[in-house]
Amino acid sequence: MKPKILSVDDSKTIRMLLARLFRPFDCQLFEAGDGEEGLAVTRREKPNLIVLDYNMPVMDGVTMLRAMREDEELKRTPVIMLTAEASPDIISTVARLGVRDYITKPFDAEKLLDKVTRIVSLERLPETP
């Protein structure tokens, strides 16, 4: 079964960057532009990992995370925060909500990949000529 990874970020740039990062691997990548959409995709697809932004319109990342933790089916879904927000208050809030890692933007794509592979097993696809 291919691992499912969900990227929730209002920035298309970040979603495209992650798509580029995970393209060489045998996994399914899903996208959402805000927390509300992220929750809907999470309920539908049950991803193995969510890479989540904090500051988004409609519903921010912490609100989405709280909603997930109150949902019996979603509460154990691993989450990595990827955000420009480095406020100690927010970091301690999401830590209490059980996020697996917190990465601040700007970020090193290889380091993010390293943290992702500690949570989900990613198999590299054969290179196409």
Partner 1 sequence: MKLSEHLPETLAETAQRALEGVFTKQLQLSIAPAPPLSESLGADEKILHATVSIQGERISGSVLLQVSESFASMVTELLLGIQGESEEIKDITGELCNMISGLIKAELTTAGFSGTLGTPTVTMGSPITLRQHPQSELCVTDWSSAGHPVNLQIQIRLLHS
Binding site for partner 1 (CB under 8 A): 10-14, 16-17, 20, 55-57, 83-89, 104-108
Query: Closest distance between partner 1 and the C-beta of residue 46, in Å?
Result: 28
Query: Closest distance between partner 1 and the C-beta of residue 118, in Å?
Result: 21
Cβ within 8 Å of residue 123, ≥6 positions away: 25, 26
**CB closer to partner 1, 23 vs 46:** 23
Query: Closest distance between partner 1 and the C-beta of residue 12, in Å?
Result: 5
Cα–Cα nearest to 64, from 42, 46, 82, 85: 42
**CB closer to partner 1, 40 vs 84:** 84
Q: Which residue has the tokens 């499912």?
A: 4
User: Are the CB atoms for 120 and 5 separated by under 8 Å?
Assistant: yes
Query: Closest distance between partner 1 and the C-beta of residue 22, in Å?
Result: 14
Cα 113 to Cα 8: distance, rounded to the nearest angstrom:
16
Phi, psi (deg, nearest 5) at residue 81: -85, 135
**CB closer to partner 1, 62 vs 116:** 62
**CB closer to partner 1, 18 vs 79:** 18
